[in-house]
Structure 1
């Protein structure tokens, strides 16, 4: 170790001793030396986060932390003492976050856990078995970027699974438990199982919603890492903290491929209906005034049942349309169309709603707001749509398709913080399109995911899916 790393290792060890109660931190003395329980919990969380945050920055410190914890949990004279169990809880937590980089240290750690796991009398043995389980689950997974969140710490040191709420487009949510090392793909399967979606359902993803932005999690990304990032942002303060006050996990359809959609599945039908409704309400779906009236009438049939001459149609319209369209649609027209739907069941109304949405060839495209300055022939503000057929550029909030690129003609798509570079054409002739957007990485990932299925696996796509230009 360098002198600087050695000093860091000494500071980390002092923090470990402080967490165990062997060293009293000066700022924890209060009310005659007795800290309040809440303050003690918070200070312990900060101590643990500091230890792991410092260790994660350098490989040699990762190895050092594990060696320190192995030392502290070896042959303790009082296995059930608070000090020993604090050390064990920290070791179990470390095993669920990071693993020793050095193979010898990792082998030494595993041997230590196996030896202590043979103890079926004391709490030490329970922690050793839990830590060994955490270690095997962490092996081979993506390395964590952030120290654990407060919730993750409190759950793991008590040998419990961590949990999170996963929200849906209809406003409902489910709480799901999972391991700290669980990837987005693994948690996605748990959510699918929880809501009763058909086994093997494909094309769904977990999204991270942070303020006004949303991002689909990569398959190998650890869900606990996202929760840790939220904690970190809030603790840091400033603009990121204000944005992260509104944060959640959202479950919805991600890839709209023909093979991935089965409208006969009642759960999937419900999910797709509410996702279409949300896209419409958030102004991500262009409709004519007449279509808007019909969609509101169908929504009224779902909310109010059969026409009675009463009912708040203005509220129904607010649940269905973006604010800019409300001034163009008269509630009397909605009521008149609602009257024509007497006898239609809720399921029939939802099916009719989806049928009307599907009249637009690009109804399955994921739309992104982008800006362009490379040609005066197009408006500055555009929509970029990505679907199973290719990439499409449209005039914003309209169905006017300016150009479309099939995946076979998309040579490259390079994202940066504020730009997306599209290179299209063939080996002989190429053209570049530069688009300004803050969602360039999201767009590039979506293009890549569709491209892998459509091109690499030669997924059959009907010609009717391509809009007329």
Structure 2
């Protein structure tokens, strides 16, 4: 199956995973899958030789056993090759709990198995005689190939020394069987990530289980004659190779298995495994449901929908299991033609909260899982373990976060897609102190940016003043005065000659002169005494933290980052800020706000950014913990 592309909706709007019946239909409709699965009659005839052939085989086997017995004896003090190999195996030391096997070329070019690896490293030794197939299609008698019976011990022998690892290995194997359809379970358990979480969570936290999981998946894929089961097993292999790599001992075994496997996912699994093995760190969280649903729908390229502030450039961007938050930010910036991705970030809007993904080194899907798991813990009801947790709805935005280096006109693409659409809502909410002489110009520029040369809506400007000006400014003059002022400003040649994008840049250039340009505003109450509070606006921007009068919008006090000694939240509505310097001493300020978590994140981001720019003059070696 060639790599296919899927353009998904937003991360929370993707189709749910198919039912087992649907998945079976997907599998059975594949010509390649049918070609690899012999008919029942052919399987039966292949495993059940005629009486004549049985007699012949019995005669040959007796001869072979006789020859083997005579060849294995010691002649004149010389050990036979069989005894020499046994001696070599017994002498080879175990490395990291594993025994190495003598090099030997495979007897055939068929699929690679763990039969030889199991001889030295599995807790239950492989059967010496060929296995037989049951009516259900599973093989019995060999620990290294597909079974429909749960294991009672971990596959790897060295895990027997740890009771916790042994127990979790057996639990993981049962989860693998349930996912593959080899063990009965509720259909709802196959939806979402409930089953994949049970398979991979412990292995991500405990290194000793990583090889065990790979061995279990390979085992269930080996000689698996159940069509749907094998297909689901390859889904698990695809997910595993995007999470962690095996040990150096198992790496060659896994590599051979993937290279010699006759499945369309094998090549992509090799590519994913190579990418994971080259990382300095590996995933910390099990697969996100977008990853799970992607492979369940038979796609190997993952796309995630990203929202942008202009509402026109929203698009699906390709991501991967090993892509970091920083990598995705660079990818988005490059595709949009931005001059730089510095200062931009990803924001998760979920459950009425806006959460910044500020750790650029985090894997993208790990960052998503961390926040989603945290939210789910808060809403988890008293359901049984086997019940399916709902997938939380969320939206992923790409926005300007740090405004330190923003100069309107330097990057027109960033101005028109991001800066204008992020500053305009704050202006209309009345957070800025707008001089009267600028208000009419800003309204005219908004009209130009929205309608271009179309003046038909200008006749309705009196009824729509609140669409272009903050409420407090609208009330400061009569409607007719505002109408005349806006029309007069709009008819000036420097505005009538502008394109829509040029009007957006001109809008930003006027606001750029204001001290609060590019600020993030937080409504708060300043605690001035035991029972006294004063409504204020807190603004965080490139200058530091600004305390603004909630009514006049005048800046009361500015604390540069060099004077910010720390900050902390207490409870759900208290935020403490410690400011000062050596000459003035420290002062602790107390505010009431429900947005303390956002202030904490933004202050952390600005301080880190300033520390990377020593020439800015804003040095801070503060510890935010009070």
- TM-score of the superposed pair, with normalisation by structure 2: 0.60
* Separation of aligned partners in 1, 2:440 and 2:266: 66
Q: Would you say 1:52 and 2:200 are equivalent positions? A: yes
Change (3 A) 1:82 1:92: same
Question: What are the within-5 Å matches in structure 2 for residues 23-422 of structure 1?
Answer: 23-25=183-185, 27-28=186-187, 42-43=190-191, 45-53=193-201, 55-56=203-204, 60-62=208-210, 64-73=212-221, 76-77=222-223, 81-97=227-243, 99=244, 105-119=246-260, 121-123=262-264, 125-136=266-277, 139-141=279-281, 143-145=283-285, 147-156=286-295, 158=298, 160-172=300-312, 173-198=314-339, 200-218=340-358, 219-228=360-369, 238=379, 245=393, 247-258=394-405, 260-261=406-407, 263-270=409-416, 271-287=418-434, 291-305=438-452, 307=455, 310-313=458-461, 317-321=465-469, 332-340=480-488, 341-342=490-491, 343-345=496-498, 346-375=500-529, 379-396=533-550, 398-415=552-569, 418=572, 419-422=574-577
* Deviation of 1:297 (Å): 2.7
Aligned residues between the structures: 438
Q: Which residue of 1 aligns with 2:126?
A: none
Change (3 A) 1:348 1:211: same
Question: Max radius of gyration: which structure?
Answer: 2
- TM-score of the superposed pair, with normalisation by structure 1: 0.78
* Deviation of 1:66 (Å): 3.5
* Deviation of 1:256 (Å): 1.2
Give yes or no for contact 2:172–2:213 (8 Å, CA) kept in 1: yes
Runs of 5+ consecutive residues of structure 1 not aligned to the other structure:
29-38, 463-469
Give yes or no for contact 2:276–2:282 (8 Å, CA) kept in 1: no
* Deviation of 1:415 (Å): 4.7
* Separation of aligned partners in 2, 1:275 and 1:204: 12
| Structure of greater relative contact order (alpha carbons < 8 Å, 6+ residues apart) | 2
* Separation of aligned partners in 2, 1:354 and 1:378: 38
Runs of 5+ consecutive residues of structure 2 not aligned to the other structure:
1-160, 382-388, 619-626
* Separation of aligned partners in 2, 1:379 and 1:433: 12
Q: Which residue of 1 aligns with 2:180?
A: 20
Change (3 A) 1:378 1:196: farther
* Separation of aligned partners in 2, 1:48 and 1:256: 41
RMSD across aligned positions (CA): 3.8
Q: Which residue of 1 aligns with 2:606?
A: 450
* Deviation of 1:371 (Å): 3.2
1:164-221 CA distances to partner (integer Å, 9 max, x unpaired)? 22112122312101112212111011111121212x3421111112244323212123
* Separation of aligned partners in 1, 2:612 and 2:206: 39
* Separation of aligned partners in 2, 1:322 and 1:109: 65
Change (3 A) 1:339 1:393: closer
Q: Which residue of 1 aligns with 2:104?
A: none
* Separation of aligned partners in 2, 1:159 and 1:134: 18
